[in-house]
Amino acid sequence: MTASTELATWLVDQLVERGMTDAVLCPGSRNAPLSFALLADERVRLHTRIDERTAAFLALGLAKGSRRPVAVVTTSGTATANLHPAVLEAAHAGVPLVAVTADRPARLRGTGANQTTDQVRLFGDAASFADLVVPSPDALAAAWLPGGPIHLNCQLDDPLTPEPDSPERTDPSDRRVEGPITRDYPWWRDPDDDEVDVLALGPRTVVVAGDDSGPPARTLAEQANWPLLAEPSSGSRTGKNPIRTYRLLLGTDLGARVERVVVFGHPTLSRPVMRLLARKDVEVVSVRAQGRWPDRPSPVTSEHVAVRADADDPAWLEEWREADRSLGRRIDAFVAEQPGLTPYDVAAVVNAANPPGGLLFVGASNPIRDLDLMATAHPVGQRRMVLANRGLAGIDGTISSAIGATLGRPRSTRAIAYVGDVTFLHDTTALVIGPDEPRPDLTIVVANDDGGSIFATLEQGAPEHASSYDKLFGTPHGVDLAALCAATRTPHWRVTDRAELEHALASPNGGIEVVEAVIRRDNRRELDGAIRALAD
């Protein structure tokens, strides 16, 4: 067995023993030993992609959907740099993405050898790191840190293919796994009793559930009779405590009367929530989040591993619930009155189409904010998985992540991806999938308003910037999505009203399909302003 084959085979064994069941491979010469080792291991479901950025986000989605570590394997040079966006997302969201990069031997570093660059700690402190020359349990164990990405840089020397008629695998009895083993990574672990702190009752309190907060946020809100301000990807927007219209209600008298906020996860969607956390008259209780999040935007009064509370006076919760029901009815009536398909219609229909046990992957910018406003909470026993790349909240690799998350879940699960047109176009290589590759049953809903309408809702969309808006922010593209889908043989439907969209989502055909929901962009700012006015 060659030295490179031995290192590659050993490393695949170690990754499998640590819980890896899927790996994503990008073709290359230097990483050929890793490629052969992955293909030879029947314990690994191997996915091949031609674009490293797409591959990395596919691996990220697989890790989020399966809750297991997933490797993305590349050759040397620029291939490694294309993993950086997904590594950063994984670092901030606490996802165990394993970047396995092939490298030249150390003697060729700095010599100008073809396709070489300095790959040592290429991702900085965003990933733990090991530079592997030979099988080294100690080096791997030191790099295998929980709660984020791992970069394993493999120095692979010639020959890069297995020797003829030589065994390509070590005997399973020779495997020796060192260090912590992560076969499943739960987003929410059960804390030890001595880690749970009891919160005093009395202050008017709301529970804010950001991305990946999980059931603990809902549990606390229900224990204490507190309003739950839960983002769609929090994993806690179920039961009777979530306040659907919380972003608008925070600007009313109810929001002004908040005295304490208990924060789970990482809230990213709402400026009103950020302003609430920054208020000097509000006590902020932080429950430690997964991943490498920055400090809260206000001084944290106290930080905890886990918290609980006894039942508080339910009158405060009832005020929020009554205001929420009333405002929700006004919003729904306003949306129903609008001619044509609106982005709020799309969000409501997508939310209704996600069945119990289903998976919804939501893109950044307007789609997740529209879903936040329009999605009503489901009963506790009918949980859906709602995922999003909220670590850095970029549009990179969203379709790839959605495909990966769906592949990481059971085949019987209904899966929907809900994205904007710019997000879709940013990751069209996600649809470039070989004929023998695993394909999920995934309906991709694209809210197409021909450009970046998120900026219309921000200060950049103010009337005084109208002359420069499209060039700098709106960026209309005029792409024919049907033709784009045809190039990759992806089924495509174009809908222009709510009934057509409901019909398209009611009967998925299987495999990957795209439903293009055509909406307007020119009235986005006015629609948002009218909805905000309903809370006054």
Phi-psi region of 121 (alpha: psi -120 to 50; beta: other; left: phi over 0): left
329 belongs to a structural domain: no
Q: What is the CATH classification number for the domain harbouring 46?
A: 3.40.50.970
Residue finishing a domain among 294, 321, 348: 321
40 belongs to a structural domain: yes
445 belongs to a structural domain: yes
147 belongs to a structural domain: yes
Q: Same domain for 100 and 23? A: yes
Q: Are strands 22-25 and 70-74 parallel, antiparallel or unpaired?
A: parallel
Q: Same domain for 525 and 385? A: yes
Residues 6+ positions from 340 with CB-CB distance below 8 Å: 496, 497, 519, 520
Q: Same domain for 305 and 342? A: no
Eight-class DSSP state of 452: -
90 belongs to a structural domain: yes
182 belongs to a structural domain: no
3-state secondary structure 160-221: CCCCCCCCCCCCHHHCCCCCCCCCCCCCCCCCCHHHEEECCCCCCEEEEECECCCHHHHHHH
- Does pTM surpass 0.95? no
32 belongs to a structural domain: yes
Interatomic CA distance for residues 209 and 388, integer angstroms: 14
Domain that holds residue 258: 195-321
Q: Same domain for 125 and 222? A: no
Q: Same domain for 353 and 296? A: no
Q: Same domain for 344 and 476? A: yes
Q: Please list the residues that pair with 97 across neighbouring strands.
A: 70
Q: Same domain for 312 and 383? A: no
Q: Same domain for 33 and 106? A: yes
Q: Same domain for 84 and 22? A: yes
Domain count, the chain: 3
**Residue in 100, 145, 105, 144 with CA at minimum distance from that of residue 123:** 100
pLDDT (tens, 9 = 90+) of the chain, 536 residues, equals 899 999 999 999 999 999 999 999 999 999 999 999 999 999 999 999 999 999 999 999 999 999 999 999 999 999 999 999 999 999 999 999 999 999 989 887 777 777 778 899 999 999 999 999 999 999 999 999 878 999 999 999 888 788 776 554 444 444 444 444 444 444 455 677 678 899 999 999 999 999 989 899 999 999 999 999 999 999 999 999 999 999 999 999 999 999 999 999 888 888 999 999 999 999 999 997 766 655 455 567 788 889 999 999 999 999 999 999 999 999 999 999 999 999 999 999 999 999 999 999 999 999 999 999 999 988 887 778 999 999 999 999 999 999 999 999 876 678 999 999 999 999 999 999 999 999 999 999 999 999 888 777 778 878 888 888 788 887 889 999 999 999 999 999 999 999 999 999 998 889 999 999 999 999 999 999 999 999 98
Q: What pLDDT does residue 194 have?
A: 73
333 belongs to a structural domain: no
Residue finishing a domain among 272, 287, 321: 321
DSSP letters, 499-536, are: HHHHHHHHS--SSEEEEEEE--STTHHHHHHHHHHTT-
Q: Same domain for 499 and 380? A: yes
